[in-house]
Amino acid sequence: MKHILITGGAGFIGSHVVRLFVRKYPDYRIVNFDKLTYAGNLENLSDVEQCPNYCFVKGDICDSEQVEAVMRQHAIDGIIHLAAESHVDRSITDPLAFARTNVLGTLTLLQTARTVWGGDWEGRRFYHISTDEVYGALPLDGGCFTETTRYDPHSPYSASKASGDHFVRAFHDTYGLPTIVTNCSNNYGPCQFPEKLIPLFINNIRHNRPLPVYGRGENVRDWLYVEDHARAIDTIFHRGCIGETYNIGGGNERSNLALVHELIRTTDRLLGRPEGASERLITHVADRPGHDLRYAIDASKLRRELGWQPEVTFGEGLERTVRWYLANGAWLDHVTSGAYECYYERMYGHRA
Ligand code: NAD
Ligand code: DAU
């Protein structure tokens, strides 16, 4: 598998996966296939855009002709599928967009891979990136999601991801398509769109704006530094077993409120503000409808079978993340103003 299609490579996690593969595998061809929705930003990849083993193709996973063309043109033999609508709050206001991309887009990609590979699965691999949210919610006082936990999605986002996961497994079981699925916990790190908790709050602290904590802030998430996720994807893509599912997690559970206090401490320190100066910005707002109480991942299968484990502690990851956003205020200003959408035009000389 040397000609790899990475869908959603201009997004948050996708851009870290693209960078890792482009740098680590100079003899591979890495094709970044991305529709460039509001969440796709080629500026995330400015440091690798000139590499000879990298190319970008603008396209929609819901369009089978575009997918087939890119697969044939680049003789694709491996797919790492990250393209998705990814934000839970947006799924509550526009669930159809999530069904379109996460269900129909995934199905279109599967069907096209099946057609193009024509039943010759040797050396082929379809790797689907999913989320721990498909498993539903855990109580505060214990338990973890394992690979055999029953699916129980609550938001339109997690329902659409669950449906995509089921189609991927159905294509393996029905047609023998060589698939792998992973379900990962909350990622954080550079280049995450500032609608998600951590970059949104860093940006708001930077501008002295309110920090909207949903409900009481008691919901718990398990945080994983994005480069550790990219390393896990590399490991699983190359050494994971066909037909298997692997959970990926950081083992860093935090209530939202505890996380926000940590974030304020780190950001205030790096901005040279007195300790706790931004605490006053915390504002409790109405809870997210259907808000899952707690997620926690048991990633022991991945550790045991493939030897992967996170390398970045939460303290170190948070420090790196806050430093990155404060040092890249221009990136934050571009994505919040929409100016990043012009990057494609500057790079390719015409509009996207
Ligand atoms: P993101 O929203 O930052 O990026 C998504 C990318 O997909 C964007 O570049 C966007 O332009 C592209 N895209 C959207 N619709 C497309 C379409 N129809 N055709 C082609 N490209 C399209 O998302 P992310 O946070 O990087 O998440 C990537 C994947 O990882 C998603 O599948 C998500 O469900 C999964 N995931 C995310 C997290 C997390 O914490 N962010 C955790 C577990 C799993
Ligand atoms: O668990 C994996 C999932 O993590 C991924 O599949 C999703 O793509 C990703 O967006 C993320 O989902 P969450 O809903 O957990 O992430 P978000 O950053 O939106 O919210 C994290 C927690 O913070 C959640 O409990 C809601 C809360 N929150 C979020 C925002 C944006 C707030 O309290 N205030 C906010 O303004």
Residue 290 has pLDDT above 70, yes or no: yes
Give the C-alpha separation, 243 to 35, whole Å: 28
Q: Are strands 29-34 and 3-7 parallel, antiparallel or unpaired?
A: parallel
Q: How far is CA 298 from the centre of its chain?
A: 19
Mean pLDDT of 18-33: 98
The answer to whether the CB of 38 is under 6 A from ligand 1 is no
Q: What pLDDT is recorded for position 352?
A: 64
Known catalytic residue: 214?
Answer: no
Confirm whether pTM is higher than 0.85. Answer: yes
Q: What pLDDT is recorded for position 338?
A: 78
Residue 311 has pLDDT above 70, yes or no: yes
Beta strands, E only, 172-236? 179-184, 186-188, 211-214, 220-225
Give the C-alpha separation, 81 to 236, whole Å: 13
Q: What are phi and psi of 285, to 5 degrees?
A: -120, 175
The residue nearest atom 3 of ligand 2, judged by CA position, is 186
Band of pLDDT at residue 343, cut at 50, 70 and 90 = confident
Average pLDDT value over all residues in the chain:
96
Known catalytic residue: 133?
Answer: yes
Give the C-alpha separation, 186 to 222, whole Å: 6
Give the C-alpha separation, 256 to 198, whole Å: 10
Report how far ligand 2's centroid is from the alpha carbon of 246 (Å): 21
The answer to whether the CB of 129 is under 6 A from ligand 1 is yes
The residue nearest atom 28 of ligand 1, judged by CA position, is 82
Mean pLDDT of 136-145: 96
Cβ partners under 8 Å of residue 55, min gap 6? 29, 30, 31, 32, 74
Per-residue pLDDT reduced to its tens digit, 74-108: 999 999 999 999 999 999 999 999 999 999 999 99
Angle, nearest 10°, between helix axes 314-327 and 197-206? 50
In the chain, the percentage of residues whose pLDDT exceeds 70 is: 99
Per-residue pLDDT reduced to its tens digit, 216-228: 999 999 999 999 9
Q: What pLDDT is recorded for position 46?
A: 95
Residue 345 has pLDDT above 90, yes or no: no
Q: What pLDDT is recorded for position 112?
A: 98
Mean pLDDT of 150-160: 98
Band of pLDDT at residue 1, cut at 50, 70 and 90 = low
From the list 77, 85, 133, 227, the catalytic residue is 133
Mean pLDDT of 294-316: 98
Q: What are phi and psi of 64, to 5 degrees?
A: -65, -30
Helix (H) or strand (E) holding 5: strand 3-7
Q: What pLDDT is recorded for position 339?
A: 78
Q: What pLDDT is recorded for position 193?
A: 96
Cβ partners under 8 Å of residue 34, min gap 6? 7, 8, 9, 10, 11, 14, 40, 56, 57, 58, 59, 83
Q: Nearest CA to 176 among 109, 128, 105, 121?
A: 121
Q: What pLDDT is recorded for position 293?
A: 98
Mean pLDDT of 27-32: 98
Measured from the Cα of 213, ligand 2's closest atom is: 33
Band of pLDDT at residue 348, cut at 50, 70 and 90 = confident
Band of pLDDT at residue 340, cut at 50, 70 and 90 = confident
Residue type, 351: R
Q: What pLDDT is recorded for position 75?
A: 98
